[in-house]
Amino acid sequence: MNTFSLSDTHCHLYLDHFEKDLERVLERAIEQGVRNIYLPAIDWNSLNQMDKLKHPKITFHRMAGIHPCSVHENWPYEEKRLFDLAESELYVAVGETGLDYYWSRDNIEQQKESLKRHCRVAKAVGKPVVLHNRESTTDLLDLIESEQDGNLTGVWHCFTGTPDEGRRAIDLGLKLGIGGVLTFKNAGVDKSIAELPSEQMILETDAPYLAPSPKRGKRNEPSYVSHTAKKFAEIFQIDIDQVARMTTRTAESLFAVKSQAG
């Protein structure tokens, strides 16, 4: 068992993909040093699904929000409902939200309005916003810039941008969420983050999606964040203990929580 403490800052562990072997999934996470798992919502139903996640050796941190791909099913929704949820101590962040132009470009304006609502709520409750981005980088960063009044913090989840896009995101007050794509041979994320400050990054899985190499193509799970951590250590030429401490500390600061130690 690893003695250091890793944090998986973006994991949909409440989905049915884990229904049959959840206990074993959690045990494997513990074996790899994962002690903190952050749960972004997809829609309102996600919030109840999170209730089944309990383990004495892992701390679960919840978020509240509407995924951009769920906007068409949950529109319109009351900003006050989102605010009331996000204001609660039960939730550490607002999201995930963002823009997704890959699956559909039919409801882009609704996605943008939803993102603006999430940003307003995040600033009002003093919590970070968690951003999904697929084929929408310029629009996403432009919108964040328009909403940034000095009070907006957040993370660009599943960062796959260029060094310049990464620098712009950091300048806008965002951390970069580094997931399994980092380990993909031709994705280029390794080259991008090598030019960016490692202390502005946090680790994630996006489980059950985007499993890292050598698990690519399989269901992703929290224990696989260790593969991303190893690649991260290789890129920045530091040991994995340092990666765990640094990225967990950055997550603690961003989400204003005290993580569970290893």
Name 202's bridge partners. 177
How many Å apart are CA 177 and CA 201, to the nearest integer?
6
Query: Which residue from 160, 164, 172 is spatially nearest to 102, judged by alpha carbons?
Result: 160
Instruction: Judge contact between 191 and 220, C-beta under 8 A.
Output: no
Check if CATH label 3.30.420.40 holds for domain 6-255: no
The structural domains of the chain, with segments of one domain joined by +, span: 6-255
- Per-residue pLDDT, 103: 86
pLDDT tens, per residue, the chain with 262 residues: 566 799 999 999 999 999 999 999 999 999 999 999 999 999 999 999 999 999 999 999 999 999 999 998 888 999 999 999 999 999 999 999 999 999 878 899 999 999 999 999 999 999 999 999 999 999 999 999 999 999 999 999 999 999 999 999 999 999 999 999 999 999 999 999 999 999 999 999 999 999 999 999 999 999 999 999 999 999 999 999 999 999 999 999 999 998 665 5
Helix (H) or strand (E) holding 261: none
